[in-house]
Amino acid sequence: MNRTRVIVLAASAAFGLATVAACGGNGAQAPAAGGQAQQTNQPTDPNQVKLTATTVGQLGQVVTDAAGMTLYRFDADTANPPASNCYDQCAQTWPPELATSSTATLDGIDQSAVGVILRKDGTKQITINGWAVYRYAKDTAPGDAKGQGLMQKWYAVTPQGKKAAGAPTSGTGAGATSGSSKPAAPTTTSETAGGYGY
């Protein structure tokens, strides 16, 4: 059984390392944690980042956010050094998962896999094993993974930072599978444009 852990994001260290990584330094990913666990009975930060390994449809375990929404990685990004290449209209369709707090709760995700990168606008985006992670604007409920396989560039991200395999899912709740027993092919329809899946 997975334990829930509360970690402290090392804001100043993350900023410094993220800046080095963004500038093509040694490729080091900014650490998300200072290595210190906090008691879970401390006051909860309403902006606290929560990442959970959740079984979503036929995708198996993928990372979801505090609202239970599936998180994705983008093949046009890089993990070494960690960098995002999704901005402007792309980021409207694929909003980056931001480090909105100095603390994060992880459930089923190794603390060493989680980090942050500095985006062009100065915000800090969560990474899993170096891959920047995003939500998909057309996912409307926990358990949705409608962005899976879009343009063959967008994939739900596993707790290890890998691409999830499987068909897009339209869920009915957190961790829910789709009602269809027949898997759908990955979506590469006309709803995609500009190579970003929007």
Mean pLDDT by 10 residues, the chain (198 residues): 49 36 39 45 71 96 97 98 97 97 92 96 97 98 96 97 92 41 32 40
d(CA 145, CA 21): 30
What integer pLDDT is reported at residue 50 of this predicted model? 96
pTM: 0.71
What whole-number distance in Å separates Cα of residue 163 and Cα of residue 121?
27
Query: What are the angstrom distances between the C-alpha of 37 and each of 5, 11, 31, 61, 190?
Result: 7, 15, 14, 24, 46
- 181: amino acid identity, one letter: S
> What pLDDT does residue 145 have?
97
State the burial class of residue 11 (Cβ atoms within 10 Å of its Cβ: 0-12, 13-18, 19+). Answer: middle
Q: What pLDDT score was predicted for residue 16?
A: 35
pLDDT at 165: 94
Residue-level pLDDT at 172: 52
